[in-house]
Amino acid sequence: DAGVTQSPTHLIKTRGQQVTLRCSPKSGHDTVSWYQQALGQGPQFIFQYYEEEERQRGNFPDRFSGHQFPNYSSELNVNALLLGDSALYLCASSPWADSNTEAFFGQGTRLTVV
């Protein structure tokens, strides 16, 4: 089992551009949550997907959007990138019923906006 895989590992984008990050959940997991982690900070919840629907959303602007596919994989899209969007973006997968006690994180995507 490959666990949670995220791609790409790193990327550099220019202010104003758009970016798509991808996440494949651990086998058997149906829930995907996305987090933003700034340097020296804890993960901040962006949104959560279950059954291909956004179930919960954190305090992030509409520039952040996502999708979940029938195979449970997920994408995070960020439009009109700002310098402040530079961070580590983490994907966590879990079973819906145990999303806090059985959560597995991917290695993250390091996004740098210049």
Alpha helices (H) in 2-95, listed in sequence order: none
Contacting residue, 17, 28, 96, 114, with another protein by CB under 8 A: 96
Q: Could you count the other beta carbons within 10 Å of the beta carbon of residue 87? A: 20
CB 103 within 8 A of CB 26: no
Regarding 112 and contact with another protein (CB under 8 A), the answer is no
Regarding 97 and contact with another protein (CB under 8 A), the answer is yes
Question: Using CA atoms, how far apart are residues 8 and 21, in angstroms rounded to an integer?
Answer: 7
Regarding 24 and contact with another protein (CB under 8 A), the answer is no
Contacting residue, 19, 24, 43, 85, with another protein by CB under 8 A: 43
Question: Using CA atoms, how far apart are residues 69 and 79, in angstroms rounded to an integer?
Answer: 20
CB of 95 to another protein, least distance (A): 8
Regarding 4 and contact with another protein (CB under 8 A), the answer is yes
Which amino acid appears at position 59 of this protein? N
Contacting residue, 19, 26, 33, 78, with another protein by CB under 8 A: 33
Regarding 107 and contact with another protein (CB under 8 A), the answer is yes
Tokens 């997968």 sit on residue:
93
Which amino acid appears at position 73 of this protein? S
Give the footprint of another protein on this chain (CB under 8 A). Answer: 4, 6, 31, 33, 40-45, 48, 50, 55-56, 58, 90, 92, 94, 96-108, 110
